A and B are shown apart, each in its own frame.
Chain A
Amino acid sequence: MNKYRCIFQMGLEYALEYRFDFLFSMISCIFPIIIQFFLWSAIYLQPGASIDNGYTYEQMILYTLTAGFVSKLVIGGFEYEINEDIKNGGLNKYLIRPVHYMRYYFFSFLGKKVPSAVILLSAVAITTGVAGIALKTAISPVHILFFLVSLVLALILNFCLMFCIAMYSFWVTDVSKLFGTISIVLVVLSGGVFPMDLFGNVVRTVSHILPFCYTTQFPTDILTGRLSQNAIVSGIAIQLLWIVLLVFIGSLLWKKGLKRFISAGG
């Protein structure tokens, strides 16, 4: 286990090495939230508006803020590195060492997450605290605990999802554009922009089966108090199920893909 702790630590060192990049990535997550804030304000606060989508104005703003922070927290980023590894032969260095590639990237991903997680979790805590006072709702410690559990699982789930997508690099040489497209679609599907419930019952039902909304909307809904205890427990079970399934699919793709690896260059 020692080696993966070291990989975790190195990911952390890596994240701290480039301070400005880190700073800007934090700042960049604020803009979409601001845009959405004005958008929802315009929709809800126009004279004579009566909106019946299950969210009050305050709830919607709270959702937007929390989901914005959560989706930034679980987002990948390592898929470009994997693509580079496969395209240009950087994968060599992992293949010749007694280290498990998927686990390597997982622990390095976690390590790189630490600084942003500290900041984003503080942002979530402040948002929740302010909302609690403003809306006069109190969040129970049990829900906070559930939120943290689901957040960790969401992080793992999103990792597995992106790892599987990154494996596509074995079949198509350059997929960085594809990653860009997929990451936008995923943010929407995961409920990072607005809750999927807005689109009616069919979409809601489908989104409850697919893994995507369990990376962002599910933890957000726990924290904003929209879910019953039963729904939370079954949601966590589905998260676990998807993780197991995606780990399996990921390893399968890895094994198949490696047979195609040509270790180009040099």
Chain B
Amino acid sequence: MIQVEHLTRNFEYYTKATGLKGSVKNLFHREKLIKEAVKDVSFCVEKGEIIGLLGPNGAGKTTTLKMLSGILFPSSGSARVDGFIPWERKDEFKRKFSIVMGQKNQLWWDLPACDSFYLNKCIFDISDGEYRRTISELSELLDVKDLLNVQVRRLSLGERMKMEILAALIHRPEILFLDEPTIGLDLISQQKIREFLRSYREEHHTTIILTSHYMKDIEELCPRTVIINHGQVVYDGGLLEMNRVMGDKKRLTIKTSAPIDPSCLAPFGTVCSLNGCQATLEIARNNLTQVSSRLLSLLPVEDFTVTDIPIEESVALFYQNR
């Protein structure tokens, strides 16, 4: 459904030194610098699949989505979305997808959301009956029935985001790009949007690319994750398998009755923390039984827990590395 190959996008920019001196200097000469926002990104998404696109701020997620929706031309590389080259901007292609940008407003600010919906209906040539069905179904699901006639600028962020999503779905796109749809929302609103996306997808089998900084969004919705850092793909696979890729480790926490001597722990694995009677070790999964039994016999262990490395930490490693 979506094929991305060696996609690259550079931006020109210039810097300004702090203060007036820098400003005056910039009046006469601006040194052009090039930032590679996206470099050599490749991945594929199957029809009906939902993937999470993760990466730290400035990693190139939004730029990638903007290229996939034809807003930006790439500097090089190619992409096909349902057979179309996005930046050719064919009308037929535009009817197939939608993009929701958490940080950008696509509704007409000074008019109620229903006016924006109606304009979308006209632009996408949707019949009255289908339009009415869609609005009543989705506004019910998103719980915004009473807000349809309120000026968009008077809505709260959460309400507005629901409207943005609704507006994006009026033409029933087969492909949906969601760029941080839960940004800045409270826990309940985030939960609501996740639930909505899940049930909507189950019913309509929409192909979705979702970006978010909330691991919960990705964990709950996306079986597969692509992580981008510094414009490059650094991981492509399931969120749960990430640990295996990162060295397949387990985390072992022990509590003893007497203070632990640091030197006796070192041979077993990496010591993450040691605080008097409590210590945390990171050890390879296949050593687990062996290490545990030796530790138990060696030290006066009172409490003993084994956990997986939290997903956030694995992801953070990908963010820092490379």
| A residues 1-47 in Cβ contact with B at 8 Å | 2-3, 5-7, 10, 13-14, 17-18
> Could you list 10 A-B pairs, sorted by A, with CB under 8 Å?
A3-B123, A5-B122, A10-B108, A95-B89, A96-B71, A97-B94, A97-B123, A98-B124, A259-B73, A266-B62
Does B186 touch A at the CB level, under 8 Å? no
8 closest residue pairs by CB, A with B: A266-B103, A6-B122, A98-B91, A3-B122, A93-B106, A98-B94, A3-B123, A266-B104
Does B115 touch A at the CB level, under 8 Å? yes
| Measured CA separation A13–B111 after assembly (Å) | 8
Query: When A98-B95, A266-B101 are in contact, do A2 and B71 touch as well, CB less than 8 Å?
Result: no
Contact A6 B119 (CB under 8 A): yes
Contact B110 A17 (CB under 8 A): yes
Contact A2 B72 (CB under 8 A): no
Does B64 touch A at the CB level, under 8 Å? no
Contact B125 A2 (CB under 8 A): yes
Q: With both chains docked as a complex, state the minimum distance between the C-beta of B201 and any C-beta of chain A, in angstroms.
A: 20
Q: With both chains docked as a complex, state the minimum distance between the C-beta of B10 and any C-beta of chain A, in angstroms.
A: 10
Q: With both chains docked as a complex, state the minimum distance between the C-beta of B37 and any C-beta of chain A, in angstroms.
A: 10
Does A56 touch B at the CB level, under 8 Å? no
Extra contacts, 16 of them, besides A6-B118, A90-B104 (Cβ < 8 A), are A3-B119, A6-B122, A10-B119, A13-B115, A14-B108, A17-B111, A18-B110, A90-B105, A92-B99, A92-B104, A95-B69, A95-B70, A96-B69, A96-B98, A263-B66, A263-B71
Contact B122 A2 (CB under 8 A): yes
Residues of B within 8 A of A13 (CB): 111, 115
Contact A263 B72 (CB under 8 A): yes
From B97, B105, B115, A10 is in contact (CB under 8 Å) with: B115
| Measured CA separation A88–B32 after assembly (Å) | 21
Contact A95 B71 (CB under 8 A): yes
Residues of A within 8 A of B72 (CB): 261-263
Residues of A within 8 A of B69 (CB): 95-96
Q: With both chains docked as a complex, state the minimum distance between the C-beta of A144 and any C-beta of chain B, in angstroms.
A: 34
| Measured CA separation A56–B102 after assembly (Å) | 62
Contact B120 A97 (CB under 8 A): yes
| Measured CA separation A2–B119 after assembly (Å) | 10
| Measured CA separation A99–B118 after assembly (Å) | 14
Residues of B within 8 A of A10 (CB): 108, 111, 115, 119
Does A265 touch B at the CB level, under 8 Å? yes
Does A89 touch B at the CB level, under 8 Å? yes
| Measured CA separation A230–B292 after assembly (Å) | 103
User: Most chain-B CB neighbours within 10 Å: which of A6, A18, A91, A96?
Assistant: A96
| Measured CA separation A36–B118 after assembly (Å) | 45
Count of A-B contacts judged by CB separation below 8 Å: 75
| Measured CA separation A73–B108 after assembly (Å) | 25
| Measured CA separation A17–B151 after assembly (Å) | 10
From B103, B111, B125, A265 is in contact (CB under 8 Å) with: B103
Does B179 touch A at the CB level, under 8 Å? yes
Residues of A within 8 A of B101 (CB): 92, 266
Q: In this complex, what residue of A is CB-closest to B106?
A: A93
Does B304 touch A at the CB level, under 8 Å? no
Q: With both chains docked as a complex, state the minimum distance between the C-beta of A100 and any C-beta of chain B, in angstroms.
A: 10
Q: With both chains docked as a complex, state the minimum distance between the C-beta of B176 and any C-beta of chain A, in angstroms.
A: 12
| Measured CA separation A258–B73 after assembly (Å) | 9
From A7, A17, A95, A265, B119 is in contact (CB under 8 Å) with: A7
Residues 117-132 of chain B, each 1 if its beta carbon lies under 8 Å from chain A, else 0: 0111011110000000
Q: In this complex, what residue of B is CB-closest to A99?
A: B123
| A residues 93-115 in Cβ contact with B at 8 Å | 93, 95-99
| Measured CA separation A13–B105 after assembly (Å) | 20
Contact B179 A266 (CB under 8 A): yes
Q: With both chains docked as a complex, state the minimum distance between the C-beta of A30 and any C-beta of chain B, in angstroms.
A: 26
Residues of A within 8 A of B11 (CB): 262
Query: When A6-B122, A96-B94, A99-B123 are in contact, do A265 and B104 touch as well, CB less than 8 Å?
Result: yes
| Measured CA separation A14–B116 after assembly (Å) | 12
| A residues 54-101 in Cβ contact with B at 8 Å | 89-93, 95-99
| Measured CA separation A91–B69 after assembly (Å) | 13
Residues of B within 8 A of A89 (CB): 104
Q: With both chains docked as a complex, state the minimum distance between the C-beta of B61 and any C-beta of chain A, in angstroms.
A: 11
Contact B123 A98 (CB under 8 A): yes
| Measured CA separation A224–B39 after assembly (Å) | 64
Contact B71 A92 (CB under 8 A): yes
| Measured CA separation A17–B110 after assembly (Å) | 8
